[in-house]
Structure formats: structure tokens, C-alpha cells
Amino acid sequence: MAEFVGSFAASHGPNIARNWETLKDETRDWVVTRFGELGDRLKAAEPDVLVIHSTDHWVNFFLDVMPAFCVGIGAEHEGPPEPFMKPVYPHETLPGHEGLGRHILERAFAADFDPAYSMRLKLDHGMCVPIWQFGLDPALPIVPIFINLVEKPFPSPKRCLAWGRMVRRAIESYPDDIRVAVLGTGGLSHSIGETTMGWIDEPFDHACIELFRNAPDDRLATELDAMLENTGNGGAELRAWVISHAAAGSKGFDMVDYIPMPEALIGCCLAEWRA
């Protein structure tokens, strides 16, 4: 049977890639050091497959079709299409894991979820900025799972907790002898395309970190739901962290570091769940 070997989360600000050569030295050093540390932790878990949750940034979906969840079940997916990603992560294709992807999809339906699925997805900066900075082998198979976090209505934090628990059960019921890690990417606070663009809501970020550290699931879901209504639209991406949290059994949160990063327009944070 497959083994769940770790749960992780990281910010994915596109300006980390877009402005890589012009970031302040201290910002670039922080990114290299902190993302490198989380990458080392992930690699130490020796996963054979990485299940990544992120939002799609109008690359695969638009307003004509916007699934709440979409599971990538193909044997291969496309690398990041954004021009600013090409110099730093030039991989045209990335391997998927068809067997585990299909198994998660089937278990989702059995658990009364109704996700979309795709044989071939484009993995944009949301997934590829962290795996680039982690220094992961591009041959590591990925099961990409997109969550709608760009256009309301969004899955609730309560629903994301249930999804994360389902993903954990799906991994542990997969019959092949493989090691599987879960990664959620996005956040923390940021505001994109709004009049508050560039605002980093530090009180929100610190409150979220404390919820992951100490709150039971019901309080985390209720308080995060309320907090997300009063911060920038990019805060919606915390739902990917909620999924990683639930996959880890909602315990063991261990923050690598957090800083407000104006150059990337985000509150930048990285964490592992030591479950």
C-alpha cells in the first residue's frame, strides 16, 4: 500500500520568478535559504509522487468553465506557459502519475465530491515556482489538483478540510508500494487587480499561522471563513494550505519562516506538518 510521507505548504508569488534577477539581495537570499530548507525537508521524505494543490491562474480554465476541483489524471502535463517562467523553469512537460490521480478521483466521487478531471493540464507558476525553488527533480511524478480560488464562489474552508482528509485516505488506500507527499501552494495575504493591490495584511497572516498551530478544525474553518472576507483576494489561496493541514491530520504545523515581501506583493510563508 502507498504511504503518506509528509505535508507541506509554500507561497508562490509570480514576481519571485518574474523579477528574480532584480530582487533585492536580501529578498533573493531569503527565498533561496527558506525555500531551500523546505525543499530539503520534502526531499528527506523521499516521495515517489507529489500531490500538489494550487489555484489555476486563468491558464486551464476561464469563466465559461470553472471547476471547484480538478484532478490531473494524465501520465504527462505541460510545464508553465508564462513567459516569465521560461528562463527559470524551462521544462515543457512534467510527468504525472496516472494511477494515483485516477485513484484520488475515484475516491473523491465515492466520498460525495464531484471534481472535474483532465488528462493533461498546464502547470503554471502556482505549482512551478515552489518546485523550482525547492530544487526538486523534474522527473518526480506529480498529481496536480487545481482548486478554484480566483472567482467566487470558492470551496469553503470546511469543504477543503474534508477534501484534505479524503486525499489522505485515498493515498493510504492506493495499492502500489509508493511514498506520497502533499504540497499546498499559494498565499499568504495579497491583493491582485484590486484597488488595494500591493497590500500585505500582516495581522491576517499571523492569525492564519496561529490557527494552523493551535485551532481545532471547527474553529479553523469558522474563523478563516470570516477572516477571508476582510482581506485581499489572494488570501483565498489559504485553502490550499487548509488541504495540506487536513491531509496531515490537522496537527504538527511547523513554520519554516514568514516575511512580508513587497517585491512579490505577498506575505511569504513556508511550512511543514510534522505528523
Exposed / middle / buried, residue 153 (Cβ in 10 Å: 0-12, 13-18, 19+): exposed
Active site residue 91: no
Structural domain of residue 70, as residue ranges? 3-273
State yes or no: pLDDT of 101 exceeds 90. Answer: yes
Three-state DSSP class for 207? helix
- Omega into 121 within 30° of 0, i.e. cis? no
Active-site entry in 53, 77, 97, 190: 190
- Per-residue confidence band for 193, with pLDDT thresholds at 50, 70 and 90: confident
DSSP category for residue 113: -
Residue 202 main-chain phi, psi, to 5 deg: -60, -40
Least confident span in 99-103, 219-223, 264-268: 264-268
Q: Of 161, 170, 56, 171, nearest to 116 (Cα)?
A: 56
Which CATH number is 240's domain given? 3.40.830.10
Average pLDDT score over residue span 41-70? 92
What does the pLDDT read at residue 195? 83
pLDDT in tens, 169-189: 999 999 999 999 999 999 899
pTM: 0.95
How many angstroms separate the CA atoms of 64 and 48, rounded?
35
269 pLDDT more than 80? yes
User: From the candidates 57, 103, 125, 245, which is the catalytic residue?
Assistant: 125
Q: What are phi and psi of 164, to 5 degrees?
A: -60, -40
Quick check: is 125 catalytic? yes
Around Cβ 24, how many Cβ atoms within 10 Å?
12
Mean pLDDT for the stretch of residues 85-103: 96
| Total number of domains in the chain | 1
